[in-house]
Structures are given as C-alpha cells and as structure tokens.
Structure 1
C-alpha cells in the first residue's frame, strides 16, 4: 500500500506515458514531500527551496526514466539529496567561515569523536536493523513508507526500529563508561 501523501501510482503511470495533465498533477502533488526532504537535508532554507525546485524540474523532465512507478518517493529523495550535497560542496568552496562560528580544535575533535562513536554503533547493527533505523531516524520516512520499502508489516518495522535504537543506545553507553580498573586522567596521581 502506497503512502497516501504521495501521488497515486495511476497518476505516475499516466505521467510516464507523457500525459501532460498527469505530469502537472504529479509535480504539484509531490511538491510538499519534496520540500520536506529538502528542508531536512539542505544547510539553508534558500538551498532547500532551490533544491526542491530543481528536483521538481527533473521530475517534470525525466518522469519517463522512472523504472518502477511505486518508487517515486525514493527517486525524489535521491534527487533532492544529491542536489543538497552539490550545493553544500559549492558553498564550502566559496564561502569562508564567519569568525563568530570558529570553534576550538578541542570542540571539533570532541564532535568528531562523538560522531564516530554514533556511526560505529549504527554500522555495528545487523543490516535489517540498520536499514530501518536509517530510513526512519535519518531519512525521515514515515513508518508506513519505511515498512513498505523494506517489505515488512508496520509492527515488524517498529520492532526492528526499537531493537536498533536500543542497541545503539547500549553501545554508546558502553563506550562512554571506563572499563573496570581503567582510570581517568583526573584520577592519576591522587591517593585515596
């Protein structure tokens, strides 16, 4: 069953056949979802608006290239993601960092360590748990959409998601606690 917030499969098929009214309705019906994707992925609201418009232009021009009519959401997500990444790369090469946002080397290192810990915890998950966690918590898909994309019932998707979140939390707790007999730098040199 398709996510009701996306245009229906019949409309997609008609648009793929070149029906101009169907293409127009498809672009119009996809716009809110494409904007949501862009706002969640792009660095600035301006980039999000530009990425959403670019994605809708690609949808209008290349709907015939979509292989499976039921894959509209994932196709549009990839287009928006790629456009946001492209914009972020060009922004990084053009814009110097404002002085107000300069962080200390220690803050940057701590942020990288934390991001690395989270990435390692997610990477250590079994593939089926990792996929559902990424679709729901990172890509922002609805539960129904994620379940359908993974070929699961909603209950099975929720169960996997719960196990994945719990495993990540447990892994992060385990890596933040010192091992038995391990001391912190603050404890060295002190006598009880």
Structure 2
C-alpha cells in the first residue's frame, strides 16, 4: 500500500505566496508538503537511493533559498522537478566520469613482478580502448551495469528502457567488447 504521505497534494497557493513573502512557518509547511513529491520523483530518476536522497535534499535547500524567485505559484511542481532532474543528471555525470577514470587506471589483476605489472597495464589499456570503441548506447549500459554495478532495473529505469531492452543492449555490448578484445589478442 502506498505511503499516505505521498498522496498529499502540493501545498496550496496561499502557502506558496506566504513562503515567497518570507513567512518562516509557511516555508516550513511548503518544504514538508513538497518533500514526498520531490522524493518520489528523485527515486524514479536517480541511479541510486543515495543519489535520490541527496537530490531531494538539494532541491529542498534550493526551494528554501530561492522560493522568492518563483514567479508563478502554479509552477512550483515543474520548478522542483526540473531541479531534481538536473541534480540527478549532475550526479550521474560525476559518477560516470569517476567510473571512466577507474576503468582506464584499473589494473585487472595484482602483479608479483615488473613484467606482470606491465602486462596488466597493457591489458587494462586494451580493455579501456575496446570499451571506448563501443557505440555510446552500448558503452553506457555496460559501464553502468558491469563496471559501476547498478542493478538491471536501475540501469533500465535510468536509461528509459524496458528491462528486456536493457538486457538485450547489455548482451550486444558484452559481445562487441569480447569481439574487440579478441581482435587485439
């Protein structure tokens, strides 16, 4: 059964106007009323629960700081959803850069000699280059699922795909990566 808190309507126009005027009690009511809606949207859009929580908090902080800049009271939901979407995309972009950096610098196995270390570095470069040669859609799903370790459902949701479509794309990416690595071997 859905949480009753998420079924509450957005705060009404009077509360929004009072909050815009700087009324502290109205700002508090506005934030409490917006929280479940913002959280639900962040959960559906962000790649992880932690990112959703962080995006929710960031959106509510922006609401607190900038409610006076909202021009139309009816635009509150749209404004908040835009903030959350931008924050989720920002967090995903940072995560993606971090994963790409890890892939390019990650030795594939520990080495016990200088020769093994050199071979591991060459192998890591070959894997990185093969991943970089994948089409963007395949590279994206492969990195999110296999490198970053997100669940299949999370990856599918983030990419706007059905779970079977995500699995199919991941299968093609793995096959293309395997073929790319066999070419250099």
Q: 1:175 — aligned with what?
A: none
For 1:139-173, what per-residue CA distance to the aligned partner results, in whole angstroms no more than 9, with x for missing partners? xxxxxxxxxxxxxxxxxxxxxxxxxxxxxxxxxxx
Alignment of structure 1 residues 104-143 onto 2, 5 Å: 108=138
Deviation of residue 108 (structure 1)? 2.4
**Is 1:22 aligned to residue 23 of structure 2?**
no
Pairing partner for 1:5 from 5, 9, 14: 9
Unaligned runs of 5+ in 1: 112-137, 139-192
Tell me the TM-score normalised to structure 1 length.
0.50
The structure with the largest helix share of the pair is 2
For 1:30-51, what per-residue CA distance to the aligned partner results, in whole angstroms no more than 9, with x for missing partners? 0000001101111111000000
Deviation of residue 93 (structure 1)? 0.7
**Is 1:68 aligned to residue 72 of structure 2?**
yes
Q: 1:44 — aligned with what?
A: 48
Deviation of residue 5 (structure 1)? 1.6
**Is 1:86 aligned to residue 90 of structure 2?**
yes
Unaligned runs of 5+ in 2: 1-6, 109-130, 142-157, 159-185
* Moved segments of 4+, more than 4 Å: none
Work out whether residues 8 and 33 of structure 2, in 8 Å CA contact, stay in contact via their aligned partners in 1. Answer: no
Q: 2:176 — aligned with what?
A: none
For 1:51-85, what per-residue CA distance to the aligned partner results, in whole angstroms no more than 9, with x for missing partners? 00000000011100000011100000000001111
**Partner secondary structure for residue 44 of structure 2:** helix
Paired with 2:89 and 2:138, the residues of 1 have a C-alpha distance of 21
Tell me the TM-score normalised to structure 2 length.
0.51
Aligned residues: 107
RMSD over equivalenced CA pairs, Å: 3.0
